[in-house]
Amino acid sequence: MGRIRSSLLAVVLAAAVSVPGVTKPASAEVSTPSSVAQIVAAMGAGWNLGNALEANANGYPSETAWGNPVITQALIDDVRAAGFTSIRIPVSYLRHIGPGPNYTINSGWLNRVQQVVDYAHSRGLHVIINMHGDGYKSIPYAWLICDAADQSAIKAKYRKAWQQIATRFRGYDHRLVFESMNENFDGQYGRPTQPCYSNINAYNQIFVDTVRRTGGNNSSRWLLVPGWNTNIDYTAGNYGFVIPTDSHRSRSIPSSEKRIMISVHYYSPWDFDGEESGTITQWGSAATDPSRRSTWGQEDYLESQLKLMHDTFVVRGYPVVVGEYGSVDKTSFDASNNRYRADFAYAVTATAKKYGAATFIWDNGVNGRYGFGLFDRHTRSVTQQEIVDDIRYGAGS
């Protein structure tokens, strides 16, 4: 998520937990969903393991740096038991990438990433892994910066990093999806700028070409790419987004089929979803207090945004992934807030399903005021059962 809470201070660097640094053999399940409907149905209800593997202390990724506990198999099992069938795992690399020209990723960190992926993948879940905090100007030692001067060095580093990640996971089946980056943009909330957008397109193309060339199951794997800041209008509108070509994919894939998905996020209206204020605490047509409801971003806006993605990409065979959405806890200001948070979650998942998109709720592990948490990761308990239930209902799971 591009709006990392400033109150979460990086305090310690957790020791990496090693696992064998080898590619996992391909599973017996080899059939890959080939259409929008198939992959969206297979993903079902999605959840984000946020503020964990993308957290960092002084530029060194550490899963406990922002206050969350060490990730365990038990946590992932709890998420699965709650009804989620897909998990997005944001990952930062930052100073765990060594110097050029090889840009070697720290083996202990890559081992730990693989171990956490295995927690979910071994349980039959769909998993998305990305390169998350490396593109934020607000993160120390971030380097995937679209308006930085030395783009040749950035692109070389990006290519080498994804070559290593893709090679590590090339034996995994289609339930593992790679996402090229997160909310990459120039840091200014406004219309896209050039050459920054062209560089984002170039990163996506490097990502697709590099992953495909590592072979194995990567030659047919679903790959996920975002446009400008994962913004729907700036991705689907005429602002410069270019879908990468996929000329290095397996020749066994029919030319009519796609293996590229489009990533967007949905936090609208922000004054309800993320603004740290007690003013706007209700959402949707069921809101009882007009003064607590935003003047925009209601059901009709949600409908228009996801229809735009459908009409621009889904009809052409490119599935859409709403990789993040959600709303913060404002029950300390309005006791009815969770009702509207659940309404919002249901509306996003149900509307996305209607328009051929998969959804992943953002969970940063923070419970209480302004938290996105659905689970208490320390006690392993569900904290927002109504929201979880409405996500499952909306996703049809």
Annotated catalytic sites, by residue?
183, 324
**Distance of alpha carbon 226 from alpha carbon 43, whole angstroms:** 18
Q: Tell me which residue of 135, 59, 70 sits closest to 97, measured CA to CA.
A: 59
**Distance of alpha carbon 186 from alpha carbon 184, whole angstroms:** 7
- 386 touches 336 (CB < 8 A): no
SS3 57: strand
Residue 311 to residues 131, 236, 259, 263, 324, Cα–Cα distance (Å): 28, 9, 18, 15, 20
- 246 touches 207 (CB < 8 A): no
Q: Token pair of 81, please?
A: 């038991």
- 356 touches 310 (CB < 8 A): yes
In total, the chain counts a number of residues equal to 397
Question: How many other CB atoms are found less than 10 A from the CB of residue 150?
Answer: 11
Give residue 37's identity as a one-letter amino acid code. Answer: A
**Distance of alpha carbon 354 from alpha carbon 36, whole angstroms:** 12
Tell me phi and psi for residue 184, to 5 degrees. Answer: -85, 125
- 74 touches 297 (CB < 8 A): no
Q: Token pair of 95, please?
A: 């100073």
**Distance of alpha carbon 150 from alpha carbon 158, whole angstroms:** 13
Q: What is the dihedral of CA 292, 298, 299, 305, to 10 degrees?
A: -160
- 282 touches 337 (CB < 8 A): yes
